[in-house]
């Protein structure tokens, strides 16, 4: 029998009685070096360091051939929370090896107890040995009304997560950093992200981020009223057109979005709020426009917007592959821009806006010549204006929306 045992946060004092007994009865204990060092003194079991499922299976088979029958595989924290148990169970099943799973106390539970803050109100993420977008995570948590808990380790530590938050304009966000939970040198520090980015905490650390502050305007999308945006002298896409753009692009949470020729950032903000949990890139060559995008992203709490000041297509070269792209202005570079989109993601959804019929024709030709099926919609809106006792309808310019790669 192989027992998959959650060893808790690390010290043997934080082990459950069930896991303590399993370790005490084992003939062979397999796990990471740190966990083997936390095995209670007096255990007569043979200790074998391994973490990868294939290596663990090899040790089990070898020791079985030597007559061993009682095995413990030591797992950090709880077996059901970002645990190696998930990868090991299918390997044991395929090999026909019987196993039991014994849960342990997770670092989430310990941190929650230390702060007297129920972890049911937290959103849980792992940055342990994997990439993690801290800004997207706290935005997703804010949508749920929760704080954000991060496991850390590997390439991303608390300072790295804090730098991501600070770079996005969230330097004042409160963090709690828990180091060496359950050990004698346990320490919990409350600190703003802008200070935490310069800290050097122990490798055994977790991070709890506070809820995001309420934005100046917390509004539903799509269709934010025009007068809530700061616009300066830069042209801005009107509310009804933005709603149509958002509907046709159909951005989903977690997606990567480009807004090329972002202007004031009104479209960018709406797409970014729809893509919470993802990244949105506002590409704009006008410095005044970039300043307005920065103002509006803060105004609406669209912290997942990254501003790219420069001219497309060159400014697009280093951006991650997009799921959806809005082209609001191309300055005569539509073809080369579409080439980069196609290269990075042939399945990207593309939407182009045009006022002139010549731009409409160019968009159709450029999309279809690159293998996109193109579709056209025309948006015409009018707004009432009081003239004495009458309502006069004042028309805006008609807008063409040309789609490629979706509902064309």
Instruction: Report pLDDT digits (tens) over 358-382.
Output: 999 999 999 999 989 899 999 888 8
- Report d(CA 315, CA 140) in Å as an integer: 28
The DSSP call for residue 220 is: -
What fold is seen in the domain 226-404?
Rossmann fold (3.40.50)
Give the residue among 62, 50, 107 at the shortest CA–CA distance from 82: 107
- State the average pLDDT over residues 111-121: 97
Q: Is residue 319 pLDDT above 70, yes or no?
A: yes
> Which CATH number is correct for 2-105, 2.60.40.1930, 3.40.1010.10, 3.40.50.1100, 3.40.50.11740?
3.40.1010.10
Q: Is residue 225 pLDDT above 50, yes or no?
A: yes
Spatial contact of 316 and 258, defined as CB atoms under 8 Å apart: yes
With b meaning 16 or more CB within 10 Å and e meaning fewer, what string describes 116-141?
Answer: eeebeebbbbbbbeeebbbbbbbbbb
Mean pLDDT of the chain: 93
- Strands ordered across the beta sheet of 46-49: 46-49, 28-31, 71-75, 2-6, 99-102
- State the average pLDDT over residues 15-29: 93
**Class level of CATH domain 108-209:** alpha beta
Q: What is the 3-state secondary structure (H, E, C) of 226-276?
A: HHHCCCCCCCCCCHHHHHHHHHHHCCCCCCCEEEECCCCCHHHHHHHHHCC
Q: How many CA atoms lie within 13 A of 174 on its CB side?
A: 8
Provide the residue ranges of all domains of the chain, joining segments of one domain with +. Answer: 2-105, 108-209, 226-404
Q: Is residue 357 pLDDT above 80, yes or no?
A: yes
C-alpha dist (Å) from residue 35 to 12, 47, 89, 201: 9, 10, 19, 20
Q: Is residue 33 pLDDT above 50, yes or no?
A: yes
Residue 406 is predicted with a pLDDT of 52
Q: Is residue 11 pLDDT above 90, yes or no?
A: no
When computed from its CA atoms, the radius of gyration of the chain, rounded to whole angstroms, is 27
Q: Are 2-105 and 226-404 the same fold in CATH? A: no
The DSSP call for residue 313 is: T
Work out the number of other CB atoms within 10 angstroms of the CB of residue 101: 17
Instruction: Report pLDDT digits (tens) over 230-247.
Output: 998 888 998 999 999 999
- Report d(CA 174, CA 195) in Å as an integer: 10
Work out the number of other CB atoms within 10 angstroms of the CB of residue 21: 14
The whole-model pTM stands at 0.85
Q: 55-61 long-range contacts, Cβ below 8 Å, gap at least 24?
A: 56/30, 56/88, 56/91, 57/91, 57/92, 57/95, 57/97, 59/28, 59/30, 60/2, 60/28, 60/30, 60/97, 61/95
208: left (phi over 0), alpha (psi -120 to 50) or beta: beta
- Report d(CA 25, CA 35) in Å as an integer: 17
Work out the number of other CB atoms within 10 angstroms of the CB of residue 304: 24
- State the average pLDDT over residues 89-94: 97
Give the residue among 246, 243, 260 at the shortest CA–CA distance from 307: 260
β-pairing, 205-209 vs 257-260, is unpaired
Beta bridge partners of 2: 71, 99
Percent of the chain with pLDDT over 90: 79
Residue 408 is predicted with a pLDDT of 41
């Amino acid at each position: 029998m192989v027992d998959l045992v959650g060893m808790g946060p690390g010290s043997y004092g934080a082990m459950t009685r069930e896991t303590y007994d399993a370790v005490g009865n084992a003939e062979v204990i397999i796990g990471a070096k740190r966990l083997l060092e936390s095995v209670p003194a007096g255990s007569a079991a043979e200790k074998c360091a391994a973490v990868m499922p294939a290596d663990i299976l090899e040790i089990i088979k070898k020791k079985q051939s030597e007559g061993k029958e009682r095995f413990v595989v030591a797992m950090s924290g709880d077996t059901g929370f970002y645990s190696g148990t998930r990868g090991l169970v299918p390997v044991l099943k395929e090999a026909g090896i019987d196993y039991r799973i014994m849960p342990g106390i997770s670092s989430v539970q310990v941190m929650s107890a230390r702060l007297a803050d129920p972890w049911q109100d937290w959103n849980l993420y792992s940055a342990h040995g994997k990439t993690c977008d801290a800004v997207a995570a706290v935005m997703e948590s804010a949508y749920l009304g929760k704080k954000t808990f991060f496991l850390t380790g590997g390439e991303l530590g608390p300072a790295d997560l804090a730098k991501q938050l600070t770079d996005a304009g969230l330097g004042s966000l409160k963090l709690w950093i828990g180091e060496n939970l359950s050990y004698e040198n346990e320490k919990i520090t409350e600190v703003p992200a802008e200070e935490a980015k310069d800290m050097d905490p122990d490798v055994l650390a977790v991070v709890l981020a506070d809820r995001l502050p309420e934005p100046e305007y917390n509004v539903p999308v799509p269709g934010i009223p025009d007068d809530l945006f700061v616009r300066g002298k830069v042209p801005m896409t009107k509310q009804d057109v933005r709603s149509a753009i958002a509907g046709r692009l159909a951005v989903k949470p977690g997606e990567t979005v480009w807004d090329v020729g972002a202007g004031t950032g009104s479209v960018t903000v709406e797409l970014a709020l729809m893509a919470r949990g993802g990244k949105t890139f506002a590409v704009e060559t006008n410095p005044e426009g970039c300043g307005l995008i920065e103002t509006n992203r803060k105004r609406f709490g669209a912290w997942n917007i990254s501003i790219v000041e420069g001219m497309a297509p060159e400014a697009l070269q280093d951006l991650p592959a997009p799921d959806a792209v809005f082209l609001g202005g191309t300055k005569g570079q539509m073809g080369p821009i579409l080439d980069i989109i196609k290269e990075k993601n042939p399945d990207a959804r593309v939407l182009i806006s045009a006022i002139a019929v010549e731009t409409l024709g160019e968009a159709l030709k450029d999309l279809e010549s690159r293998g996109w099926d193109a579709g056209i919609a025309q948006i015409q809106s009018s707004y009432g204006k009081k003239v004495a006792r009458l309502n006069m309808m004042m028309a805006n310019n008609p807008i063409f929306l040309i789609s490629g790669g979706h509902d064309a």
